[in-house]
Each structure stands twice: as structure tokens, then as C-alpha cells.
Amino acid sequence: MNVSEAMSTSVLTVGPGHRLREVARLMRERHIGSAVVLDPEGPGHGIITERDILNSIGAGESPDEEVVAAHMAPDIVFAHPEWSLDEAAATMIHHGFRHLAVINGGELAGMLSMRDLVRCYVEDAGSAPKTGEL
């Protein structure tokens, strides 16, 4: 299985000036843990994750005042849709990430999360619980 089969094609994008509370609300509504930061004036894409927001709040900062630019990772590591899931997992482990943006032909194509990887590995192994068997 490759990245394109496991990734989510619905990607939340935010700007560097978004407040952390708004980004947290958007992530919560979509049941996701990251957003790609698009800055038309910046050199490239960034990423903000639920952990970045948690670290800010844990440090006593106000999510109503803090902006994405102050907490995002400015250099995003990308995956290619044709990568194997093992290659994507190795990249995540090597860099300490739980999310990888997927780029195809220079365009943002999706997002791959650790949850996506685990789901695919479990389904592939045939050990996914059946509905109601948790």
C-alpha cells in the first residue's frame, strides 16, 4: 500500500495570523490533529499541530492572543503519494513527526497521520476489530 491510498485528501489550511483558539476549533470540528500553514509572503508551507497548541496553552499563553506564526514548524517535510507506507513511517520516526503533508506535482495533495498508518497496518494484517467489538 502506498501513501496515496492511506492519506486524507481533505487538508485544513490556515494562515500565519490565525489565532490558536480558532485553529484548535477547526481541528476539533474536523477530528484532525494538524493544519498546513499557507503564507503567501513566506518561502513555503509550514505546519501547526495539536501538540503545538497544547505546548502554548501549557506554557500559560492565551490561545485568543497567540498566532500560528509563533508556534508553527516553518519547514514542513513532505511525502510523495507513491511512497510506501513503510517509507512514510520511517520518515515520521526519523524526524519525530506524527503528520506528513503529501505533495504531488508541487501541489498539496493530502495529509498522512500516524493514525492513518496504524489503521492501514491493522487492516492489512486483518486484525481490525469488527463493528461493535471494541
Is 32 domain-assigned?
yes
Grid look-up 514548524 returns 73
Is 130 domain-assigned?
no
Is 67 domain-assigned?
yes
Grid look-up 489550511 returns 13
The DSSP code sequence of 83-105 is SBHHHHHHHHHHHT-SEEEEEET
CATH number of the domain where residue 48 is located: 3.10.580.10
CA quadruple 63, 69, 70, 72: dihedral sign: positive
Confidence of residue 131 (pLDDT cuts 50, 70, 90): low
Q: Which pLDDT tens digit goes with each residue over 33-74?
A: 999 999 888 777 899 999 999 999 999 999 999 999 999 988
Give the CA dihedral 81, 87, 92, 94, nearest 10 degrees: -140
Is 45 domain-assigned?
yes
Q: Which pLDDT tens digit goes with each residue over 67-88?
A: 999 999 887 889 999 999 999 9
Is 132 domain-assigned?
no
Is 110 domain-assigned?
yes
Is pLDDT above 80 for 134?
no
pLDDT at 129: 58
**Residue-number span of the structural domain to which 19 is assigned:** 3-125
CA quadruple 51, 53, 54, 55: dihedral sign: positive
Is pLDDT above 70 for 133?
no
Strand runs (DSSP E) across 12-98, as ranges? 13-14, 34-37, 46-49, 78-79
Grid look-up 513555503 returns 44
Is 17 domain-assigned?
yes
What's the domain count of the chain? 1
